[in-house]
Amino acid sequence: MPSRVTADTQPPALRVVPAQQVPFADVEAVFGTKGDPATCWCQWFKVPRSAWSMSDAELEQLLEQQIAEGEHGPGLIAYDGDTPVGWCAVEPRPALPGLPRKRIVATGSPDQDFDDASIWAVTCFVVPRAHRRRGVGGVLAEAAVAYAREHGARVVEAYGVDPAARAKVPAADLFPGTVSMFERAGFREVARPTPARAVMQIRFDEG
């Protein structure tokens, strides 16, 4: 029986399980075959830009390998009953070599030691269209905090989008998660590198 990652406000109908403990077919079901998730497979912060000549199938194989080999992370899967309904990428920052190159992180994160495995990052949410507007992302954000803390995180960092700061935000641009969602999960804003993007943290080392 796989262990569950729980959050205090998690709706009873949803449960969250580490990706290492579920069939990879359930990960594939969440990412689907169309759109950005199926062409990225959560490799945006992991592989060099030169690697984007790889096929979608090759990127998918990388994620499958990372899940199989990962001690902690790279993500969580949310279920409604037996149906996989969402993915959240969460893991120590050293596993994300491309993260320091992103301007929002390089200019906004107060913690610039990217070799520190006690600092974790929440970087991506995938919720299939049929399961949106049900709070799946919020459940995953809370579960990601619990999972990181249980596995030794000192800090959990996220890079929220603030839809109120832009005239129109396509759904595809919300994959990092929203500021309001992270606030509800207990994060606080620590920097605003751009009007529409915030660096947000939970620091367990502050009690």
Q: Which amino acid is at 21?
A: Q
The pLDDT score that the predictor gives to residue 50 is 79
Q: Is the pLDDT of residue 37 over 50?
A: yes
Q: What are 180-197's pLDDT values in tens digits?
A: 999 999 999 999 999 999
Q: Is the pLDDT of residue 152 over 60?
A: yes
The pLDDT score that the predictor gives to residue 70 is 84
Average pLDDT value over all residues in the chain: 90
Query: How is the beta sheet containing 83-92 ordered, strand by strand?
Result: 14-18, 75-80, 83-92, 119-126, 155-161, 197-203, 188-194
By the 8 A CB rule, do 43 and 31 touch? no
Domains and CATH numbers, the chain: 14-206 (3.40.630.30)
- Non-local CB neighbours of 188 within 8 Å, separated by 6+ positions: 200, 201, 202
CA–CA distance from 30 to each of 98, 135, 155, 157 (Å)?
24, 16, 27, 24
Q: Is the pLDDT of residue 4 over 80?
A: no
pLDDT grade, residue 1 (50/70/90)? very low
Stretch (H or E) spanning 92: strand 83-92
Backbone angles phi, psi at 175, to 5 degrees: -60, -30
CA–CA distance from 12 to each of 19, 78, 80 (Å)?
20, 12, 9
Q: Is the pLDDT of residue 39 over 80?
A: yes
